[in-house]
C-alpha cells in the first residue's frame, strides 16, 4: 500500500521500471489528487459557479502537474521529511494557484492598482486608536504621515503597485505573479524591499513602531 512505503521504497519504486514503477506512480498520483482536493475542500468559496465535475477536473489537472513536478525533482528530495509530505506540497501549491485563479478571474488588477492609490492613503490616515492620550495620537499621526511619504517618494512604481494590490486589496500572491508575468520570489522581494524602506523610513524619523503596536494590542 502506498502509505506504508518507506522513503527509500518510494524512491526505489519510482525509479524502477515496469509494473513496480507503474504501481508507485499510480499510488503517488492518488495521494497528490487527495492533497489537491483537500486544499479545494477548504476553499470551496473560490469555485463559485463551477459544478462538481469542473472542480474535480481542476483537481485532476493539479494532481497531474504535481506528479510531473515531483518526478522531475526526485533528486532534490533530501530525506528530511516523509517522502509523501515532501510530495504533497507540490499538489497543494498547484491547487492554491488554481483556486485563486478561479476566484479572481475577470478582475482587472490594472484597474485595482491604478485607481485606488487615494483609497490606500485614506486607509493609512484612518485613526483606529481609541482611549489613548494626545501624545500617542500624535505619534500615530506622525507614523501614518511617514508611511505615506515613504510610499509616495521612496518606493519604486513596482513596489508601490505590489503593495497596493497585496496589502490594500489583499490580492493573492499568485494572482499578482500572473499579473506581472513573474514569479513568487520576485514579488516577495518587491514587498520585502518595500517593507525595508518603510521600516528604515520610520527609524530615521525616530518613530518606534513597536510602541505604536501597543496602541492596538498591549502585548505588541
Partner 1 sequence: MKSDRFERWLRNIHHTQDEEISCSECFDSVSHFVEVELSGEDPAIKLPRVKQHLDQCPACREEYETLRDLRNLEEEGRLPSKDDLQNLIP
Contact footprint for partner 1 (CB under 8 A) = 3, 30, 33-35, 37-42, 44, 52, 55-56, 76, 78, 80-82, 84-86, 88-89, 92-93, 96, 123-124, 126, 128, 167, 170, 172-174, 184-185, 188-189, 191-192, 195-196, 198-199, 202, 209-210, 212-213, 216-217
H or E, element range at 177: helix 173-180
The whole-angstrom separation of Cα 149 and Cα 146 is 5
List, as one string, the DSSP characters of 112-164.
Answer: HHHHTHHHHHHHHH-----S--HHHHHHHHHHHHHHHHHHHHTS-HHHHHHHI
CB of 13 to partner 1, least distance (A): 19
CB of 59 to partner 1, least distance (A): 8
> Are 104 and 45 in contact, with CB atoms under 8 Å apart?
no
- Nearer to partner 1 by Cβ, of 18 and 181: the residue is 181
- Nearer to partner 1 by Cβ, of 111 and 170: the residue is 170
The whole-angstrom separation of Cα 135 and Cα 114 is 35
- Nearer to partner 1 by Cβ, of 18 and 117: the residue is 117
List, as one string, the DSSP characters of 21-61.
Answer: HHHHHHHHHHHHHHHHHHHHHH-GGGGTT--HHHHHHHHHH
- Nearer to partner 1 by Cβ, of 18 and 210: the residue is 210
Count of C-beta atoms within a 10 Å radius of residue 194: 22
- Nearer to partner 1 by Cβ, of 126 and 157: the residue is 126
CB of 23 to partner 1, least distance (A): 17
CB of 18 to partner 1, least distance (A): 25
- Nearer to partner 1 by Cβ, of 18 and 80: the residue is 80
Q: What is the DSSP letter of 216?
A: T
CB of 17 to partner 1, least distance (A): 27
Amino acid at each position: 500500500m502506498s502509505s506504508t512505503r518507506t522513503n527509500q521504497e518510494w524512491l526505489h519504486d519510482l525509479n524502477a521500471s515496469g509494473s513496480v514503477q507503474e504501481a508507485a506512480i499510480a499510488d503517488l498520483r492518488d495521494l497528490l489528487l487527495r492533497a489537491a482536493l483537500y486544499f479545494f475542500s477548504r476553499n470551496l468559496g473560490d469555485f463559485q459557479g463551477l459544478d462538481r465535475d469542473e472542480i474535480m477536473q481542476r483537481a485532476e489537472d493539479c494532481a497531474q502537474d504535481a506528479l510531473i513536478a515531483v518526478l522531475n525533482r526526485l533528486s532534490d528530495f533530501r530525506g528530511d521529511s516523509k517522502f509523501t509530505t515532501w510530495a504533497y506540497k507540490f499538489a497543494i501549491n498547484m491547487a492554491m494557484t488554481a483556486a485563486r485563479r478561479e476566484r479572481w478571474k475577470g478582475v482587472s488588477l490594472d484597474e485595482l492598482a491604478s485607481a485606488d492609490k487615494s483609497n490606500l492613503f485614506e486607509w493609512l490616515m484612518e485613526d483606529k486608536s481609541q482611549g489613548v492620550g494626545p501624545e500617542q495620537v500624535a505619534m500615530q499621526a506622525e507614523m501614518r504621515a511617514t508611511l505615506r511619504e515613504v510610499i509616495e517618494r521612496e518606493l519604486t512604481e513596482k513596489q508601490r503597485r505590489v503593495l497596493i494590490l497585496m496589502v490594500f486589496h489583499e490580492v493573492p500572491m499568485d494572482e499578482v505573479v500572473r499579473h506581472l508575468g513573474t514569479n513568487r520570489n520576485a514579488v516577495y522581494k518587491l514587498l520585502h524591499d518595500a517593507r525595508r524602506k518603510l521600516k528604515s523610513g520610520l527609524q530615521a524619523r525616530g518613530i518606534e513602531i513597536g510602541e505604536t503596536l501597543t496602541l492596538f494590542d498591549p502585548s505588541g
